[in-house]
């Protein structure tokens, strides 16, 4: 099944920001486009707005004047659904209410031809449930664009329970012909991106709720150590706290209140107070004119240790050993079978975050996971109230000698980046095992949809196939609510690896 022919008219119903964006994508690709909105004159206003954006593309040299004029000639507002009768594809981008969408598609079925492809841009509702109202649900599919649709490449092509393979394939190939990067997924709560991305927000909020650190510091660690484009607090302020919480709540409810997707009480209070982020001037941060952005916690300068003793290879942080030597600090290596750590001159130990807490051990400081320890500009350290001051000072000085800013946080298991990445990897394995999408499509979706520096499976291969399961096992022992219990898919993946390695 191939993409729609460019001569085939495409209709967009709902002319808000997303509807206009989808219409622009189809228009620039070469289709005749019809715009319809139930509110009188809204479609004409949307057509004028799209025309203005085409003008800006010409000004920026991204579109020729001739192509702009041709696109404008193909764009037509519609006053009635009947004017969409000859369309080969109708994409809906109206209010996120099941009854509203079902009513719209029932009306469309009375108008369009039997072979017209019907698509919803819903981000939170069930594609199956929307299509369930149709007489012919086989031609119904989800086409989830990301905002702004003309700029972001990802499109999740969602097959409902009754969607025909030919319909899903045609939608997929059409999105690709429009210059997008489509990924195929089954109809599951949150689809790919909104399902697997929940821990990015949830774990940052959990660290905050545990009073282990503040939003500015957590965001800085996620950016400067984890390699994420934005931190969870600043990103949700940009998205809108009400919007982000609504998606989280929808996924949680759709999974029958699965504890892995539990919403944040702190975020709920923020929404209740009307602090919704940039759009209201205040959220986690104060965005009002003249407000100062809080600085992340950064430790004062400390003396580096003269040497460290390396017991084991530090696993995902093994690059640190070469970096320490390059900084002029002696590294003495000892083979140990009981773990990987650095022993400092004062006798204290420095270990990579593993889901355990500092208070459980004598004089241990944990350091967080980094995407790339050479490129990272900040490292988080955690210690308990019983950790020796000398150990904290030597650990701080060590990373400062490597050119890193150091943020001290409370004694929370898994710290910030490690627990976040471990949970993202777990949800990705769980999704693939349940037939939601392929590993390749999951990685593509998370890189393009939310700008993750690596896809979950890319991260898993880099960290070692047993790493995430081990971290989550430790976290689960300290919080047996089920939130951190590794999925069966991740257990199987990890155990199979261990078994093969043991056999060799």
What is the total residue count of the chain? Answer: 504
Judge whether 458 counts as a catalytic residue.
no
Could you give the C-alpha distances from 294 to 188, 345, 479, in angstroms and in order?
38, 35, 31
Tell me the β-bridge partners of 11: 34, 90
Instruction: Indicate which residue of 124, 159, 194, 264 is catalytic.
Output: 194
Judge whether 382 counts as a catalytic residue.
no
User: How many Cβ atoms are within 10 Å of 46's Cβ, its own excluded?
Assistant: 24
Instruction: Indicate which residue of 31, 109, 123, 234 is catalytic.
Output: 123
Q: Is the dihedral of CA 402, 403, 404, 408 positive or negative?
A: positive
- Closest Cα to residue 475, out of 196, 259, 317? 259
Instruction: Indicate which residue of 109, 156, 234, 245 is catalytic.
Output: 156
Whole-angstrom Cα distance, residue 113 to residue 233? 47
- Closest Cα to residue 369, out of 298, 471, 272, 276? 471
Judge whether 194 counts as a catalytic residue.
yes
DSSP code for 126: -
How do strand 10-13 and strand 33-36 relate by DSSP bridges?
A: parallel
| SS3 state at 331 | strand
Q: Are 464 and 490 in contact (CB under 8 A)?
A: no
Q: Are 358 and 387 in contact (CB under 8 A)?
A: yes
Judge whether 156 counts as a catalytic residue.
yes
Collect all residues with Cβ–Cβ distance below 8 Å to 132 and sequence separation of at least 6: 102, 162
Instruction: Indicate which residue of 31, 109, 124, 144 is catalytic.
Output: 144
| C-alpha neighbours within 13 Å on the C-beta side of residue 489 | 14
DSSP code for 125: S
Whole-angstrom Cα distance, residue 111 to residue 120? 17
To 10 degrees, the CA torsion angle through 438, 441, 443, 445?
A: -140
Q: What b/e readout covers 171-202, taking b as 16+ CB neighbours within 10 angstroms? A: bbbbbebbebbbbbbbbbbbbbbbbbbbbbbb
Tell me the β-bridge partners of 334: 311
Q: Which residues are catalytic?
A: 123, 144, 156, 194
């Amino acid at each position: 099944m191939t993409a729609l022919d460019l001569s085939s008219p495409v209709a967009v119903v709902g002319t808000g920001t997303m509807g206009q964006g989808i219409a622009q994508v189809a228009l620039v690709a070469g289709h005749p486009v019809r715009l319809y909105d139930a509110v009188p004159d809204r479609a004409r206003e949307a057509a004028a707005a799209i025309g203005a954006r085409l003008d800006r593309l010409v000004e920026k040299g991204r579109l020729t004047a001739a192509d702009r004029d041709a696109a404008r000639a193909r764009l037509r507002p519609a006053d009635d659904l009947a004017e969409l009768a000859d369309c080969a594809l109708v994409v809906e981008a109206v209010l996120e209410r099941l009854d509203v969408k079902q009513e719209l598609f029932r009306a469309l079925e009375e108008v369009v031809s039997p072979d017209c492809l019907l698509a919803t841009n819903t981000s939170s509702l069930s594609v199956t449930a929307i299509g369930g109202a149709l007489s012919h649900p086989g031609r119904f599919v989800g086409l989830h664009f990301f905002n702004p649709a003309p700029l972001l490449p990802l499109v999740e092509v969602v097959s409902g329970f009754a969607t025909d393979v030919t319909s899903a394939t045609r939608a997929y190939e059409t999105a690709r012909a429009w210059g997008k990067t489509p990924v195929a997924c089954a109809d599951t709560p949150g689809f790919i991106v909104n399902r697997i991305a929940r821990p990015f927000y949830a774990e940052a909020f959990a660290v905050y709720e545990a009073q282990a650190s503040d939003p500015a510091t957590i965001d800085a660690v996620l950016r400067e150590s984890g390699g994420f484009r934005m931190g969870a607090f600043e990103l949700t302020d940009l998205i809108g706290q009400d919007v982000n919480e609504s998606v989280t709540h929808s996924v949680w409810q759709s999974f029958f209140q699965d504890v892995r997707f539990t919403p944040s009480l702190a975020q709920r209070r923020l929404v209740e107070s009307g602090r919704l982020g940039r759009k209201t001037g205040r959220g986690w941060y104060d965005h009002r004119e003249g407000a100062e952005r809080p600085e992340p916690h950064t430790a004062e300068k400390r003396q580096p240790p003269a040497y460290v003793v390396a017991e084991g290879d530090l696993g995902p942080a093994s690059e640190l050993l070469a970096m320490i030597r390059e900084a002029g600090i002696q590294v003495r290596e000892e083979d140990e079978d009981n773990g990987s750590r650095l022993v400092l001159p004062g006798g204290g130990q420095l270990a990579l975050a593993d889901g355990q807490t500092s208070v459980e051990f004598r004089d241990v400081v944990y350091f967080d996971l980094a995407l790339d320890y050479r490129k990272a500009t900040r490292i988080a350290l955690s210690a308990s109230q019983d950790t020796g001051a000398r150990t904290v000072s030597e650990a701080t000085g060590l990373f400062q000698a490597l050119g890193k800013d150091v943020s001290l946080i409370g004694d929370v298991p898994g710290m910030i980046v490690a627990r976040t990445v471990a949970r993202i990897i777990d949800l990705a394995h769980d999704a693939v095992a349940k037939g939601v999408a392929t590993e390749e499509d999951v990685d593509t979706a998370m890189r393009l949809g939310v700008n993750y520096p690596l896809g979950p499976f890319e991260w898993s291969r880099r960290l070692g196939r047993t790493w995430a399961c081990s971290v989550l096992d430790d976290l689960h022992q300290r919080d047996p609510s089920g939130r951190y219990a590794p999925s069966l898919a991740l257990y199987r993946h990890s155990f199979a690896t261990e078994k093969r390695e043991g056999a060799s």
